[in-house]
Every structure is written in structure tokens, then in C-alpha cells.
Chain A
Amino acid sequence: MPVNLEELSKLVIDGDTDAIKSAVKNAINDGADPLEIVDKGLAKGIRTVGEKYGKGEIFLTELLMGAEAMKVGMEIINPEIQKQKKELKKLGTVVIGTVSGDIHDLGKNIVAALFSAHGFDVTDLGVDVPNEKFIDKLKELKPDILGLSALMTSTITKQRDIINTLKETGLRDKVKVMVGGAAVNEDFVREIGADGYAENANDAVIKAKDLLK
């Protein structure tokens, strides 16, 4: 019986974190190519969820349930990919965190979850992250994207400080900097010399993919 990859997409769209486990296992047992399971099944599902969210058709929770189902599915498929010595196409690596002086992490967590679901390799540094720690991690992990989150108007200036430090240390050209937070807008991004921002987590993923093209 051919493996029904459409069904896997649908389970991601429905955010069915239980059924997706057995469905992915069955697909593997049926001999489906694990990369195909991801590409034509799970990833297609999360893309559809993202599109629906972008059009305002579903709630944020449904988007995140989709991301969770994706995550659960990937946890099962990843060992199989390694076993078969195959490699998933890497979308990119991301280092993300909430800047120092700010402990708001709701938005940052959502963005991180969605980046992961779409296949980015995400390192989350948490909240109240000192500027030096961002720089150290950049040097260590050499990510494609640095995500700086700051909710408050009093802390968004930290995003500027970090970018200035990047310039001073010659790291600015090595990474794309995305900033986020309620007070951030296009003008601010230009003003501080960041590469981009997005209005919501879904747009952040789209923006990141654009930046890495």
C-alpha cells in the first residue's frame, strides 16, 4: 500500500500530536523515504498551516499546535534519517534570545517554536540575555540568523547596542539580524541597521527564508 503522505500533512494541519506518532512510524515501516515523509508530508503540512494563519483563517494556537505536531513527527523521523545516513536540507541556523533587562518571552518562544517547526536549527538563549553572551554564541555557533527580542520601548535600544557591537567586532556581515517586539517597526529596523523584522511568528519564518536566499 502506498504511503499516504497527504494524511501526514493533514495531521500536522490538525495539530494531532497523538495520531502523528503512529502515522510517521507506519510510514517508516512501509518503507517510505524519510526525506520524502518530511518534505511531502510533515513540512507540507506546516507550510499549509502557515498560509492559513497568514490569511487570518486560524488562531495562533492552531498554528502552534501544527508546530507541535511537526516537532513530534520530526522526533520520530530524525533517528531514521540518521540511520539511513541521509541528510535533511538545512534551512539555516538561528540563535535567538530576549535582550538584557527584558524578561518577556512569549513572542520569542513562539517565533523559536515556529522556526524549529520549519526546519531551522534553533538555539534559544532565554531571557535577559547579556549583550556579551549573544556575541560569544555568535562566535561559537556561527548562525545564519540572530534573533533579538525586546518587548519594551525601554529595552529595544539594546537591539541597537548589540548591532553596534557586531559592527565594532567585524561580525556584522557574517549574520542576518532580525529584531522583534511590540514597539519594533520598519523605521526602527532601518534606524538601527538590522536586516529585518516581522509582524508575527509566521511572517518571521517567511522573512528569514527571504533573507537567506
Chain B
Amino acid sequence: MRPVLEFFSSDEIYEIHQTSLEILERVGMKFESPEAQQILKNAGVEVDLKGVARFHSDLVEEYIKMAPRSVVLRGRDPKKDVYLRNDRVAFAAGTGMYVIDGNKARKATYQDCCNWAKLTDAVKNVDFTCEIHSTDMPSELTDRYNFKAMAMNTTKPFVGSALSRDGVLDEIEMAAAIVGGKEELRKRPIWWAGYAAISPLIWSENACTVFKETAPYNIPAFVEGESVVGGTSAVTVASTLAQTNAEALSGIVYNQIIKKGRPCILNLGFTHPMDMKTCLALHGNVVSGIVAAGGNQLARFYGLPSAAWMATDSKVSDAQCGYEKALTGIIPALARSSLIFGMGQAEFTFAVDFEKLIIDEEIVNQMKRVIDGIEVTEETLCLEAIERVGIGGNFLTPKARDTFKFIQKETTELTIGDRNTREKWLEAGGKDIGEKAREKVNEILTTHEPEPLDKDIIKKMDEIIENAKKKVEAKK
């Protein structure tokens, strides 16, 4: 059986679900966009003068059913497409605005974003990648620059940010240029749009706009409840899930009203448990892991894909970093989160660490073995081999040869860590995992050549950026 970690009984799932519906009906959800308010009104949702929408339970139930049960995240290379389902776990790179360099963090640059894309393009377990936010470009235009950096340096599906309506429209143009026009983009919507509700219970104008503008192209929507547990949601995990679920459900309803059947991901896996002494929003906390796992179970209840985040609050690539990554990863992985973000993530969710991505690759390899579970069949029980090998024999000889085909699947190997004896380890240079990861990063960045993007497409992207620049300057 492949293990599925569940935190709730089916009664408890209903209880949380019903509480979410009750929140949406009794307290409601504020939509800050007048356009969104009108869209909701037209669909029969009651919206008051302050923009608070109160949803009837039956309306929510009706629209949630319209969202498809699996979502495809498409890459520049169709072979890299990621099929999100709630019985399968995919892994994604993290994001941030700082790059960890030794014991220091520095602001990310456009070049860092290019390198990040390149590194994540090369690393096998990254199914899906994220931009890092460059800080050396005009602030209104970073979303376009980052999009270009990602598109040029990876053929995997990726996500960028969209900072304004103009930004999202430009990114749609850029995505269309890559796939060969807007009609093609509808068929192969590379890129996705993700937004989190502002807890408690608000959808920002920008989020509503991004969802609206990307809807005609069927671009998948990551709809997130991302509360600060104890701060913007109650300190209990149950209540946090009920509230963030209400927030995300209302977002999915909004998306389904705009475009029936739009692929949506119900993501309750990005909450930040607050440190109740320092007031910092944490993420390497195991509580994030169990909120995400609970969220995954809720998503399965709706038949929707889910997401989570493997993270650390450590500032350097140390032991804390390793155990927090492994714990916040394995909990949602066992709960069958469809997509776990955060490979290479460090320092809350502010920074990326290139070396850490290589170490996380190893953690993900190990986690994949755990979630594969224990296969019990007549063949895997190997009774005949036990009989042939007999008392006092061993299972490395030809007598057990019919069991050898399971070696690859049943055992694990390390790619960067060390399992050798001290002598062999010293012989190989006596390096710790960080040093080896550093070497690997350098090797990839100097040797890996991502599939180049057509020159005309790059030219088109540059034109889009130039035009955006002119528009921004004209406004000033």
C-alpha cells in the first residue's frame, strides 16, 4: 500500500467543510475589486456596499464541483508538463527576493534569476520552477524581466509574479509569443497565475484582476489561503484550516464564475505559523507541515489538487535547515500534496540558497522512496528465494537472482550525501555536504545549457518590455 497520512476522520472533514461554508455565509469575504464585485453580483452572490460578498452554501458547493479534478502545468517543452493529481506528489523550486551567500543574504539580481532558472532546469527532481524576484530592474517592470529570465533558461513549467493589470497582460503576450499565438496559448497555457487571499477574508484587487485576465486562456489558478497562524487566523490548526479553506474556496468560486471549468489548485499549504513571542511569520515549523497535510486532505475531499511548502527558518545551510526541510516536506508528501514547493528555499520564504537546492534534491529522492510505500505481492514476498537461499545463506548470490530486479525500487542511493566509511570519505576529500553541493552548483552553472529560446521570441519579449518601460515613464 502507498501510505496516505490523514489527520482527520471523515466526520471531522465535514465539520471543517461546513464551518468554511458557514464563514462564507455569515461573515463573508471582502472582494476589493469593483469589477469582481459586479461579476459576483451577476452570478447571484449578495455583495454589500463595503464589497463583502456573502455566499450561500449551495452556490459554493455548485461552483466547486465545476473545477476539474486534475490540472496540467505546462512547460515550454511539452515533455516537461506536470500533471497534478491528488494521488501523486510533484516537487517545485522555491522563490524569494534574497540569495543566500555563505552566512549572508544579498538582494537577488536579474542574473540570479537567470541562474536560478538554469539550475532548476538541470536538477532532476524539480518538476516545476519559480522565479526569484530580481531587485536590480525598475520595480514596476520586474515581473516582465523575471518572466523573460525564466522563459529563456528553463523548458520546465514555471511561475512568475504579476504585479499589475498591465504586468499580467504583458506576460500573457510573452507566453503567447512562446507557444505561437493566443489561440495556441488557450490550448497550451504555459505559465500559471497564483494568488493568496489576504487573511482574514479579503481578496485584493490585484488578485481578482490577475485571475480575471488569465481566465480566458485557461491558465491554471493557484488559489491560496495563506494566513499567519495565531495572527491573521486563530491559533488552532483546525480553525486556521476552516478559515483559509473558506478564503480559498471563495477564490475558486470566483474563478469558476469567470470561467467554468478553469483548472484550480486549492492551496492551504502556505500558511505561516506565527512565533507568539517574536511575532515573526515562520515556515520551517512542523505546524506548517500539518496545516498543509490537513489542507491536502480537504483538497482530496473536494477532488482538487493541493500544494504545500518545504521550508526552513534557518539563515544558513545547517542542521536546522536540513531537519526542517525534511520534516515540512515529508509530512505533506505523506499526505499526498499534489505539489510541494520550496526546493532551495531558505530563511523563512524570503530567500533561495543555490546549494540548498542540491541538498533538497537529495531529501526529495529520499521522500519519494517513503511515499512509494511498501509493495506487498507474491513476488515481493520472495518466498521462493527464502527457500532457495535457505538457512544461513545470503541474498546476494544467484539463488536470489529473481529478487535483484527490486534493488533499484526498494533501496535508496545518495547523490550528494555520504554513506561511506571514514576512510573512503577521507579519500574522496573528506568534504561535507555543503561543500559538495557548492561544487555541484558551479558545475551545473558552467556546463548546463538550457534548450535555447528562439531569437525572434526573445526579440518579441524585449519589445514587450520596451513598450512597458515607455508606458511606465509616460505615467511619471
| A interface residues (Cβ-Cβ under 8 A, vs B) | 15, 17, 59-62, 64-65, 68, 105-106, 109-110, 113, 185-186, 199
Contacts and interface: CB of A to CB of B under 8 A. Distances in A.
Given A59-B407, A61-B407, A68 B421 contact: no
Contacts of A186: 423
Nearest to A59: B407
Interface of B: 392, 394, 396-398, 400-401, 404, 407, 420-424
A199 B424 contact: yes
B421 A64 contact: no
Given A61-B396, A64-B397, 11 more contacts: A59-B407, A60-B396, A61-B404, A62-B404, A64-B398, A105-B392, A106-B394, A110-B396, A186-B423, A199-B420, A199-B423
B28 to A, nearest CB: 61
Contacts of B423: 185-186, 199
A207 to B, nearest CB: 12
Contacts of B404: 59, 61-62, 65
A185 B397 contact: no
A60 B421 CA distance: 16
Contacts of A17: 398
A109 B392 CA distance: 12
B424 A68 contact: no
A179 to B, nearest CB: 14
Nearest to B393: A109
Contacts of B420: 199
B421 A65 contact: no
Q: Is the interface of B mostly helix, strand, loop or mixed?
A: helix
A185 B423 CA distance: 7
B422 A185 contact: yes
A185 B401 contact: no
A68 B397 contact: yes
A105 B397 CA distance: 13
4 nearest A-B pairs in the assembled complex, by CB-CB distance: A68-B398, A61-B404, A106-B394, A64-B396
A105 B407 CA distance: 22
Nearest to B395: A61
5 contacts: A15-B398, A59-B404, A68-B398, A105-B392, A199-B423
Contacts of B424: 199
A17 B404 CA distance: 15
B394 A109 contact: yes
Which of B398, B401, B404, B407 has its CB near the most chain A CB atoms (within 10 A)?
Answer: B398
Contacts of A65: 398, 401, 404
A59 B404 CA distance: 9
A147 B199 CA distance: 70
B396 A185 contact: no
A199 B398 contact: no
Nearest to B408: A59
A106 B397 CA distance: 10
Given A59-B407, A61-B404, A65-B401, A185 B394 contact: no
Nearest to B392: A105
Contact of A199 (B400, B407, B421): B421
B26 to A, nearest CB: 61
Contacts of B400: 61
A18 to B, nearest CB: 10
Contacts of A105: 392
A118 B77 CA distance: 49
B398 to A, nearest CB: 5
A185 B421 contact: yes
Contacts of B421: 185, 199
B319 to A, nearest CB: 26
A199 B421 CA distance: 8
